[in-house]
Chain A
Amino acid sequence: MNDYAIDVQGLNKSFGKKHVVKDFSLQVKRGEIYGFLGPNGSGKTTSIRMLCGLLKPDSGSGTCLGYDVVRETAAIKREVGYMTQRFSLWEDLTIRENLDFVARMYSMTDRSTAVPAALEQLGLTERRDQLAGALSGGWKQRLALAACMLHRPRLLLLDEPTAGVDPQARRDFWEEIHALAAGGISVLVSTHYMDEAERCHRLAYIAYGSLLATGTPDEVLHRVSLSTWAVSGPPAPLAQLAPKLHGLPAIAHVTAFGSTLHVTGEDEAALDQALAPFRADPQLSWRRAEPTLEDVFIHLMPKTNGAPQ
């Protein structure tokens, strides 16, 4: 067995004529937290499903926890914890019944202690006899997360685990993920949150089926040389400025953050030159800013051909 929790090469998947995942290769080390990013419909969920045996790749090969992703799916399922993007526990079972069911499915011998412990950790002991369907969206998410970790998997595949979860719970979640990783568990987690991306050891960015960038957050950030200006000022002049900047060839994109606009371009000199006329406005203050991961991803996105239909 090699050192990789996930080691796959050239996975492809088509639905009908639509080529959804193209030549997907990924290596996730033991104990690594690997962030999986990409726009909607880019193939994240499809890739994750291929990794845990829920979808059969059209071509490609590789291993998950040392088991072949095509032939040894039964073994993979036993040792992987997969959290689906959409809530997929049983809404007409109570919280405890759901956890009990999951524990039984993985033939856990310590079910009678593991389930109460999980409930306690979730803070749902009091509400254990409530139907899962009656939980709020965020709580459903937290229950699903607890359920997929219940059988102490060696690899977690989490598909947008924190979508709709409040900031405190998200922080708790990431703390726990880091603790698990420190204990040797590997995690592949898809997310749309940039702050979460920054908390991963490594990132993979996929768009329209193709893996565009992988590396540590820092590597990804510096993969493309971007320069960014932050403009701040009263709302009216800012609002007038934005449409004028859009469409200038040197400017890649303009993003509004409250009373600040981020103006990003690829070529620093060209950007400075394009912005020069606007810097005369006394109402606006200009300063150089660090490009963020989001700038990088937004920058990477439209370059790929084959946008979703």
Chain B
Amino acid sequence: MTMQAFSWSRWVAIIVKEFIQLKRDRLTFGMIIGIPVLQLILFGYAINADPKRLPTAVLAADAGPYSRSLLAAMQTSGYYRIDRFVANEAEIDELLAHGRVQFAVTIPENFGRKLVRGERPALLLEADASDPAAVGNAVAALGQLANTALARDLQGPLAELAPRAPPFDVRIHRRYNPEGVTAYNIVPGLIGTILTMTMVLMTGLAMTRERERGTFENLLSTPALPIEVMTGKIMPYILIGLIQVTLILAAALLLFEVPMQGNPLLLYLVVSLFIAANLSLGITFSSIARNQLQAMQMTFFFFLPSILLSGFMFPFRGMPEWAQWLGSVLPLTHFLLLVRGIMLKGNTVLDLLPHLWPIMLFMVVVIGIGLALYRRTLD
């Protein structure tokens, strides 16, 4: 193989060509603006969601006045709608398992008597936390109730129980999702998933489109080097990714008042790196796939674990070790931590380093694979 030097002229030619083609492709352009806006509205609803009047079952082993006050307070908080009273724990399990109730409250035997004696009886609240957004606020409200609900009842000789520690403990078991997801998790997650999705997909189609339209034969008959074609083709998408991020960030700051503690420039730097990593993967998929459909399938094959194992959907530390290991290969995992670090904690470059290099490594490896598998012939 005769060696040939990288040519800037050819590289620029490919970038210009991709830009023009992208400009003329209305559908893709719509997708670029449409996807972030659409997802923002969808997820934005989730961020604002403060669901009220959630179905609640009660197992009351003590039907005394304190219990009644407590249940009344729960109702008036607006979060709980006490639908039914059950007789035993098995029923609670059944109701939660089938999703008929969101919460189950168990008032232990002798709740009132223990309360009066100052024994701080335990009130068990079981929540179906498989939909954490639905549970969070209601649970927080109950904590407040513990302090205030019985204040009226605890007077006279019992008054000493009221002010200091809550007169009883609230024990919360978040079933199905031990850590829960905070609302702020969603904006970094949204940036990450939208970028993963659109960047990988769009570049995934870039090369296969040439192949399907027959223009690949022409491209291949020119002296263009694989590295020129691959990197040239991803350049315009870096800009597009940055536009998408700006759209999401603007909305996140304006609509949802997500804090921005760190340096915005640093954020954009991290975002650019993440975009480049995803584009490399897309273009590599594109070199492997025979047609656009295959490229699309590969994209989804990558997208799903990215969502599930990155800590976007489920808390990263809650996953089994092998899943964490798998998750730590994915750029999205590190990206989420980086963005949260910058936006919420105000992290600096030094803090971020441990999560920057895995993304770079991913990119280098993926580009290497792509170059190795790039079809230099029509075979």
Contact for B221 among A67, A77, A86, CB less than 8 A:
A77
**Residue A97 at the chain B interface, CB threshold 8 Å:** yes
Q: Nearest-CB distance from A262 to chain B (Å)? A: 38
A interface: dominant SS: loop
**Residue A165 at the chain B interface, CB threshold 8 Å:** no
Task: Please tell me if the beta carbons of B378 and A49 are within 8 angstroms of each other in the complex.
Answer: yes
**Residue A101 at the chain B interface, CB threshold 8 Å:** yes
Count A-side interface residues using an 8 Å CB cutoff.
33
- Residue numbers in B under 8 Å from A80 (CB-CB): 221
Near A by CB (< 8 A), chain B positions 1-29 give: 1-2, 4, 7, 9-10, 12-13, 16-17, 20-21, 24-25
Cα–Cα distance between A43 and B25 once the two chains are bound (Å): 36
- Given known contacts A92-B25, A104-B10, is B223 in contact with A77 (CB within 8 Å)? yes
Cα–Cα distance between A105 and B229 once the two chains are bound (Å): 11
Q: Nearest-CB distance from A140 to chain B (Å)? A: 12
B interface: dominant SS: helix
- Given known contacts A74-B4, A90-B215, A92-B24, is B379 in contact with A105 (CB within 8 Å)? no
- Residue numbers in B under 8 Å from A75 (CB-CB): 2
Task: Please tell me if the beta carbons of B7 and A107 are within 8 angstroms of each other in the complex.
Answer: yes
Cα–Cα distance between A55 and B378 once the two chains are bound (Å): 6
**Residue B222 at the chain A interface, CB threshold 8 Å:** yes
- Given known contacts A77-B222, A84-B221, is B13 in contact with A101 (CB within 8 Å)? yes
Task: Please tell me if the beta carbons of A107 and B379 are within 8 angstroms of each other in the complex.
Answer: no
**Residue A71 at the chain B interface, CB threshold 8 Å:** yes
Q: Nearest-CB distance from A84 to chain B (Å)? A: 5
- Residue numbers in A under 8 Å from B20 (CB-CB): 92-93, 97
- Given known contacts A55-B377, A74-B1, is B215 in contact with A105 (CB within 8 Å)? no
Task: Please tell me if the beta carbons of B215 and A54 are within 8 angstroms of each other in the complex.
Answer: no
**Residue A206 at the chain B interface, CB threshold 8 Å:** no
- Residue numbers in B under 8 Å from A87 (CB-CB): 214
- Residue numbers in B under 8 Å from A91 (CB-CB): 213
- Residue numbers in B under 8 Å from A100 (CB-CB): 13
Task: Please tell me if the beta carbons of A71 and B217 are within 8 angstroms of each other in the complex.
Answer: no
**Residue A175 at the chain B interface, CB threshold 8 Å:** no
**Residue A89 at the chain B interface, CB threshold 8 Å:** yes
- Residue numbers in B under 8 Å from A89 (CB-CB): 215, 218
- Given known contacts A72-B2, A87-B214, is B378 in contact with A54 (CB within 8 Å)? yes
Cα–Cα distance between A237 and B2 once the two chains are bound (Å): 66
Query: Which residues of A line the B interface, CB within 8 A?
Result: 49, 52-56, 67, 71-75, 77-78, 80, 82, 84, 86-93, 97, 100-102, 104-107
Query: Which residues of B line the A interface, CB within 8 A?
Result: 1-2, 4, 7, 9-10, 12-13, 16-17, 20-21, 24-25, 213-218, 220-224, 376-379
Interface pairs (20), CB distance under 8 Å: A53-B221, A54-B220, A55-B377, A55-B378, A78-B223, A84-B214, A86-B217, A87-B214, A88-B217, A88-B218, A89-B215, A89-B218, A90-B21, A92-B20, A93-B17, A93-B21, A97-B17, A100-B13, A101-B17, A104-B10
